[in-house]
Amino acid sequence: MNSNLWMLGGLIAGVAVAATAVIDPSLKPSFSTVANVSRVDYSLSEYDRIVLLVDDEPFFYNGVQLRVDKMAGIWNMTDVEIEPFFQLIANDGFTVVNCQLTWADIQPDTFYNASESTYIRGGRYENYNYVANVSHRIGYEAGDEANQELSYIKFDYSDYSLAQIDAAKVRIYVNSAPDNDVAFSANLYGIANDTWSASDLTWANAPSHDGVNISGTKDTDYWFTDSNPSWDPINQASYYDFDASSFIRNHTSNGIASFIFQPQINNTDLANGATLYGAKGPLPPQLW
């Protein structure tokens, strides 16, 4: 999905039971301590069919489906924005609403907003610092460094244990259509250098890059993390997710994760790139 690194904690598996296991004879069934609101009357004594009773009254229902999964996952609506739709449904006379219950509703993932971020730009902008900007950029144009940009993003999740993490993702919100309406893919790299300060970075002094390319020793100074799949390029304002599981679990033992977000180099004549919200934006990069 287009869908801020997701950290999935918890075990989603069955419990192995030995073949010789027996049921503990001391176990007793539990009984509800709360009176049931609804029940099914199978007796056929008062009604000529099986009837669902709510507060001992027959419940006649008509239903409608509400796609809360799409409202939240695609249209980025919050719970507060979705809630009035349930009242609209009730006002229209529906007594049942069917909506999707996701695993995240039962066991929400942990996420962290970026602790700091900035972007750097080449050419005549090589000594500029953009930490104050709400939006950052990534971009590439062959032969013109002034239209080449990288974004640096850092997360601090040091209050969370690596042992709790089964998987992780970085979520980026691209806040406008790509430059020249040219769809393109981006790469996310994890870097070993996590001591940089966003307020100091420029094209001239930022670590782990040589122009728009990532520099250093692969798998020592930097690790390729993920890129947009071919079927989901950056082509509109939306969330984009990048799998960072291996980098987070194997290379961020201090709970600090440092990334470079890079446009994939292409052979088009047009400059391409996109703007994304940074740490100071309303929808900052997130580590889930």
Which pLDDT band, with edges at 50, 70 and 90, does 242 fall under?
Answer: very high
CATH classification (class only), 112-287: mainly beta
DSSP 3-state of 179 = helix
**What's the rounded Cα separation, in Å, for the pair 282 and 254?**
27
Question: Sorting pLDDT into bands at 50, 70 and 90, what band is 217?
Answer: very high
Task: Provide the pLDDT for residue 268.
Answer: 65
pLDDT in tens, 76-125: 888 899 999 999 999 999 989 999 887 777 777 889 999 999 999 999 99
The phi and psi torsions of 78 (rounded to 5 degrees) equal -85, 170
Return the pLDDT at 1. 40
> Does pTM surpass 0.75?
no
Q: For the chain, what percent of residues have pLDDT higher than 90? A: 61
Q: Residue 242 and residue 173: Cα distance in Å, rounded?
A: 11
CA distance to 79, 85, 221, per residue, from 92 (Å): 21, 11, 60
Instruction: Determine the pLDDT at residue 162.
Output: 86
Q: What's the rounded mean pLDDT across residues 132-137?
A: 97
Mean pLDDT score, 17-30: 62
Task: Please report the pLDDT score of residue 15 as a whole number.
Answer: 38
Positions of CATH 2.60.120 in the chain: 112-287
**Residue burial 118-139, b: 16+ Cβ < 10 Å; e: rest:** bbbbbeebeeebbbebebbbbb
Question: Which residues fall within 8 angstroms of residue 272, CB to CB, at 6 or more apart?
Answer: 139, 140, 141, 178, 179, 180, 182, 184, 263, 266
> Average pLDDT for residues 205-221, to the nearest whole number?
97
